[in-house]
Amino acid sequence: MKNVISSQTTRCDEQPVGGAKAWWIWALGVTFVVFLFSFQTGYSASNLRVQQDIGLTIAQVSMVAAVYTWVFAVGQFFSGALLDRLGAGRVTPVAISLVTVGIFIFANAQSFEMLLVAQFVIACGACCGFVGAGFIGGQWFGLAKYSVMFGLVQVVASTGSSFSQNLINIGLDQMHWRIFFNSYAVFGVLLAILAFVFVRNRTPATGMGQDGAGVFLKSVVKNIITVGKMPHIIVVSIMSATTFATWLSMGIIWARRLLQSVHGFDPGWANFGGSLIFLGMAVGSAIVPRISDITQKRKPLMIAGAAIQLVTLLALLYVPNPGLLFALVTCFLFGLGSSGSMLPFSSAADVVKPDQVGTSAAIVNGVSFILAGFMMSRPGVIIERGMAAGMDMGLFDIAQAAAMPLLFCAAIPVALGFFMKESYPTQRSA
């Protein structure tokens, strides 16, 4: 059966596709994503300082990151449906406000429990960030450009995160991490004000209806189940989740520790290597969706990206005494291969109705972050068990043992991709 995505006739209550207003609203949505990603990479760069200041164990450091990811993932399933029903104009400003409040709590946390509360609040707002920016792109630029605009969101977000890591490192060297993140939250206040003033829906949102929140939530759950039980959605969600979880785990926490503690590189180079993982994702996200549209294929690119990720992860773990240039290039290629995790969003949108695009994206992203939370926490648990047994963190054996969940995760999409059906629409109008 052919997949057809067609444009809808613009009604009198709709605003035109594209233009300066569309780019401005999209820019605010993407700035929110960069704000989120930069905070998470900032936490990665500062987690040793936070760990020492508050007195956290390695497992607790991993758990703080994982709790954010799990709460974020659960919220994802509802964020897409909320965007479909309420639109970005009502959802995005509130989401930015929640994230800003959470960062203030994080910056002033005095205990492990306060850090968990901060991450919970941040995650409640963050779950509408990436999907919200993609939703804005689909609304304001049309479904025909959905794949390219979604990739462009990741390009800007990953590039911003890559450069922000180095700026954050400079900032953290100049001031205490609490002062830095309190100042960072002030930017969130300004962004929230801009969002409340300018972010609008291009088409009228259906809203919750006259039956109240209870009926609305039931309809949301029903829509999630309807989309989530589609075989193709299940396959691409698993492929995206395994690729993305491996990338995020390495980018946020483990690449730096691997480069510094195992391979012996200076902290500055280790942080730079971690930032190259984000930069590689940015470059790939700019190229891969465009290649997909040119070749009219999703499947081969998803398999190739997963294979590159697996091979480069093996190289980072098993090549003894790698040179600095080799390690940095491998980190970049790891991120480049990981960009294949963006195509499942487009592939999921290929097989659903236009009013289910937000829900399909939220399901893919939600499953991805659930697995990412597990992947970020498992290596830390394995390392602590190894240390308790008298093994040195710097030894290759404990590092490789800790990375086994990541290797297993990276291998799944390579194999599963061969069972995936090609979904690219055979007809696509502007």
Dihedral over alpha carbons 291, 292, 295, 298 (to 10 degrees): 140
According to CATH, the topology of domain 16-203+219-423 is: Growth Hormone; Chain: A; (1.20.1250)
Q: Provide the residue ranges of all domains of the chain, joining segments of one domain with +.
A: 16-203+219-423
DSSP 108: T
H-only helix segments in 13-111: 20-54, 58-86, 88-107
DSSP 13: T
- What is residue 411's three-state secondary structure? helix
In the predicted structure, residue 17 carries a pLDDT above the cut 60:
yes
Distance of alpha carbon 159 from the chain centroid: 13
Per-residue pLDDT tens over the stretch 21-69: 889 999 999 999 989 888 877 777 777 788 888 888 877 877 887 788 7
229 vs 369, which has greater pLDDT? 229
Question: Using an 8 Å Cβ cutoff, are 202 and 14 in contact?
Answer: yes
Gap between the Cα atoms of 62 and 44, Å rounded: 10
- What is residue 8's three-state secondary structure? coil
pTM beyond 0.85, yes or no: no
Distance of alpha carbon 222 from the chain centroid: 25
Gap between the Cα atoms of 323 and 329, Å rounded: 10
Gap between the Cα atoms of 43 and 30, Å rounded: 20
Lowest average pLDDT, out of 71-75, 180-184, 349-353, 415-419, goes to 71-75
Residue 61: the pLDDT is 79
Residue 330: pLDDT band (50, 70, 90) is very high
In the predicted structure, residue 242 carries a pLDDT above the cut 90:
yes
Please give the structure tokens belonging to residue 199.
């972010």
Contacts 24+ apart (CB under 8 A), 113-122: 115/50, 115/54, 115/56, 115/64, 116/63, 116/64, 116/67, 119/64, 119/65, 119/67, 119/68, 119/71, 120/67, 120/68, 120/71, 122/39, 122/68, 122/98
> Which H helix or E strand runs over 427?
strand 427-428
Name the nearest CA neighbour of 51 among 207, 253, 194: 253
Question: Using an 8 Å Cβ cutoff, are 90 and 128 in contact?
Answer: no
DSSP 172-227: HHHS-HHHHHHHHHHHHHHHHHHHHHH---SS----S-TT-HHHHHHHHHHHHHHH
Residue 353: the pLDDT is 84
In the predicted structure, residue 9 carries a pLDDT above the cut 50:
no
Per-residue pLDDT tens over the stretch 111-153: 989 999 999 999 999 988 888 888 898 888 876 677 778 778 8
HEC sequence for 380-391: HHHHHHHHHCCC
Residue 238: the pLDDT is 94
Residue 114: the pLDDT is 93
Name the nearest CA neighbour of 307 among 227, 413, 204: 413
Question: Using an 8 Å Cβ cutoff, are 99 and 36 in contact?
Answer: yes
In the predicted structure, residue 371 carries a pLDDT above the cut 80:
yes
373 vs 95, which has greater pLDDT? 95
Gap between the Cα atoms of 375 and 343, Å rounded: 21
Please give the structure tokens belonging to residue 10.
């613009």
Q: What percent of the chain has pLDDT over 90?
A: 32
Please give the structure tokens belonging to residue 76.
């994802």
Residue 148: the pLDDT is 77
Question: Using an 8 Å Cβ cutoff, are 33 and 152 in contact?
Answer: no
- Of the segments 50-54, 177-181, 305-309, 426-430, which one has the largest average pLDDT value? 305-309
Residue 87 has phi, psi (to 5 degrees) of 85, 160
The pLDDT of 178-186, averaged and rounded, is 93
Residue 297: the pLDDT is 92
Name the nearest CA neighbour of 278 among 342, 366, 345, 339: 339
DSSP 110-146: -SHHHHHHHHHHHHHHHTTTHHHHHHHHHHHH-GGGH
